[in-house]
C-alpha cells in the first residue's frame, strides 16, 4: 500500500509557485508504462497539468494509495516495521521511503539576524510578485528556483538583487534540441551512482539554471543582468543589520561556464563519435559577464530591500523515522536506495542510483532496481 499524508501529487499542488512549469520537457514526463501523449513533446507542463499527469498515473495503475494518511512514526520490529499513522497502525515486512527530497526549504542559520522590517519568504510561501511588499527584493540563490523567481519579480517592475553562489549553467536548447534531450540521448542522465567519482558532491549539486516556458527560452545571469537585476556574490553573513556577500563571482562564473562547455563537448562527442553525425561548426554561448564591481554589502535597515526570498535549496524531512539510519548530517545512509536496515528502501533522492534519479522520469529505472532487490530479500 502507498501512504500519502495529503492528496496524490501533493508537492505539485501545495509547494510550488503560481507560474511554475516543469523544467523537464513533456517528452520526459514518463512514469512506468505511462507517458505524455499530447502533441507538444518539447513543451513544459503547468502545475495543474503535472497534477493531472501524476493523478492519471495513479488511476491508470489502480495504485493502492491511502490519502490523508500521515506517517507519524516508523519503528523496527522483529518482523519488519511498525508504522504509526493518523489513521491507525500498520505492520509491514518491507518499507520504501518515497516521501520526497524537497520537504522543506533550506535557509541559512544567519537568517535570524535579518532585521524584522524585512519580510522573508521561502519558495513554499511565495506564490507571485503581488504578494511581496513594495520596494526592493533580494533573491538569494541562483539555481532553478532563484533565477526563475528573480526573473518573474524583476518583470513585475521591482528592483531585484540576486545573490549568486555555486550554480550549474545550461542553455535551454543546444543545436536545436532541448538540453535535457541531449542529457538523455548522450546517456549522461543514465550514469550510475557507482560509476560517479565524487558521489557526495554529485548528490549535493544545485539544480540547473533552467526554466520551462512556452517559448523554450534560455534564462541565465546575462539575461537577468540585461533585465536590470543586480548580481551580487554569495550571501555569507549578516552583521549589524548589513548583508555581507562574498567576492569571487568571476571565478564562480568561469567555473559554471567551463562545466557547461565540457558538457556540450560531451554531447558533440556522443553525436560524432558514437553516432557518426556531423554536428557542424562549434556552437558555444556568450560567457557569463561578471558585474564591474559587485557590492559586497547591503544595509538591510536602509529600506532599499523590503523583502528577501530564500531560494537556497530544499531538504528531505525524516522526523517520523525512528530507525537509526541517518548520518550526522541527517541524511539517510543508503547504497543506491538500499537503506542501512533490513528491507528498508528509499527512492526519489538526488543521484540515488542514476543522475536522473530525482526527476520524474528517473523513477522508472530506480523503482525496477529497488523492487528487484526487495523481491529477492523477502
Ligand X SMILES: Cc1cc2nc3c(=O)[nH]c(=O)nc-3n(C[C@H](O)[C@H](O)[C@H](O)COP(=O)(O)OP(=O)(O)OC[C@H]3O[C@@H](n4cnc5c(N)ncnc54)[C@H](O)[C@@H]3O)c2cc1C
- Site residues for ligand X per CB under 6 A: 3-6, 10-11, 16, 22-24, 70-71, 98-100, 102-103, 145, 314, 320, 348, 358-360
Cα–Cα distance measured from residue 107 to residue 313, given in angstroms and rounded to the nearest whole number:
8
Nearer to ligand X, 11 or 306 (CB): 11
Nearer to ligand X, 123 or 136 (CB): 123
Nearer to ligand X, 114 or 311 (CB): 311
Give the nearest distance from C-beta 317 to ligand X in angstroms: 7
Nearer to ligand X, 137 or 349 (CB): 349
Give the nearest distance from C-beta 45 to ligand X in angstroms: 8
Give the nearest distance from C-beta 330 to ligand X in angstroms: 15
Give the nearest distance from C-beta 113 to ligand X in angstroms: 26
C-alpha distances in Å from residue 172, one per residue of 197, 268, 296: 27, 16, 31
Nearer to ligand X, 55 or 244 (CB): 55
Are residues 48 and 62 in contact, defined by beta-carbon separation less than 8 angstroms?
Answer: no
Instruction: Residue 28: name the closest of 177, 248, 136 by CA.
Output: 177
* Residue nearest to ligand X as judged by C-beta position: 100
Beta strand pairing status for 208-209 and 168-169?
parallel
Give the nearest distance from C-beta 99 to ligand X in angstroms: 4
E strand or H helix at 178: strand 177-178
Nearer to ligand X, 23 or 256 (CB): 23
Q: What is the DSSP string of 29-75?
A: -EETTEE--SS-TTS--BHHHHHHHHHHHHHHTT--EE-S--EEEEE
Instruction: Residue 162: name the closest of 92, 95, 229 by CA.
Output: 229
SS3 251: helix
Cα–Cα distance measured from residue 292 to residue 113, given in angstroms and rounded to the nearest whole number:
29
Are residues 203 and 349 in contact, defined by beta-carbon separation less than 8 angstroms?
Answer: yes
Nearer to ligand X, 12 or 235 (CB): 12
φ and ψ of 35, to 5 deg: -150, 165
Give the nearest distance from C-beta 24 to ligand X in angstroms: 4
Nearer to ligand X, 125 or 283 (CB): 125
Give the nearest distance from C-beta 28 to ligand X in angstroms: 7
Instruction: Residue 279: name the closest of 190, 181, 184, 177 by CA.
Output: 177
Cα–Cα distance measured from residue 242 to residue 358, given in angstroms and rounded to the nearest whole number:
36
Give the nearest distance from C-beta 106 to ligand X in angstroms: 11
Amino acid at each position: 500500500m502507498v501512504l500519502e499524508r495529503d492528496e496524490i501529487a501533493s508537492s505539485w499542488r501545495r509547494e510550488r509557485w503560481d507560474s511554475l512549469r516543469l523544467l523537464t520537457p513533456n517528452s520526459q514526463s514518463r512514469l512506468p508504462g505511462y507517458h505524455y501523449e499530447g502533441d507538444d513533446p518539447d513543451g513544459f507542463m503547468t502545475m495543474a497539468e503535472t497534477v493531472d499527469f501524476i493523478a492519471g498515473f495513479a488511476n491508470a495503475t489502480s495504485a493502492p494509495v491511502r490519502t490523508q494518511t500521515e506517517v507519524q512514526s516508523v519503528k523496527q520490529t522483529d518482523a519488519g516495521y511498525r508504522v504509526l499513522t493518523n489513521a491507525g497502525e500498520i505492520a509491514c515486512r518491507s518499507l520504501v521511503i518515497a516521501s520526497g527530497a524537497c520537504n522543506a526549504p533550506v535557509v541559512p542559520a544567519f537568517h535570524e539576524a535579518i532585521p524584522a522590517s524585512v519580510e522573508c519568504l521561502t519558495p513554499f510561501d511565495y506564490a507571485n510578485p503581488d504578494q511581496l511588499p513594495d520596494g526592493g527584493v533580494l533573491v538569494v540563490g541562483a539555481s532553478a528556483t532563484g533565477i526563475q523567481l528573480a526573473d518573474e519579480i524583476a518583470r513585475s517592475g521591482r528592483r531585484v538583487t540576486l545573490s549568486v553562489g555555486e550554480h550549474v549553467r545550461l542553455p535551454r536548447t543546444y543545436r536545436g534540441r532541448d538540453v535535457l534531450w541531449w542529457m538523455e540521448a548522450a546517456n549522461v542522465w543514465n550514469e550510475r551512482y557507482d560509476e560517479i567519482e565524487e558521489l557526495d558532491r554529485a548528490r549535493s549539486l544545485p539544480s540547473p539554471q533552467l526554466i520551462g516556458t512556452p517559448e523554450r527560452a534560455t534564462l541565465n545571469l546575462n539575461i537577468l543582468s540585461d533585465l536590470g537585476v543586480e548580481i551580487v556574490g554569495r550571501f555569507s553573513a549578516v552583521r549589524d543589520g548589513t548583508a555581507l556577500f562574498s567576492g569571487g563571482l568571476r571565478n564562480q562564473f568561469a567555473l559554471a561556464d567551463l562545466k557547461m562547455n565540457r558538457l556540450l563537448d560531451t554531447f558533440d562527442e556522443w553525436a560524432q563519435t558514437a553516432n557518426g553525425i556531423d554536428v557542424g561548426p562549434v556552437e558555444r554561448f556568450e560567457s557569463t559577464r561578471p558585474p564591474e564591481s559587485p557590492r559586497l554589502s547591503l544595509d538591510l535597515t536602509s529600506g532599499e530591500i523590503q523583502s528577501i526570498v530564500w531560494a537556497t535549496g530544499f531538504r528531505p524531512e525524516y522526523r517520523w523515522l525512528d530507525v537509526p539510519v541517518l548520518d550526522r548530517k541527517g541524511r539517510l545512509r543508503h547504497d543506491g536506495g538500499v537503506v542501512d536496515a533490513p528491507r528498508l528502501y528509499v527512492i526519489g533522492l538526488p543521484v540515488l542510483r542514476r543522475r536522473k534519479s530525482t526527476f520524474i522520469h528517473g523513477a522508472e529505472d530506480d523503482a525496477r532496481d529497488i523492487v528487484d532487490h526487495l523481491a529477492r530479500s523477502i
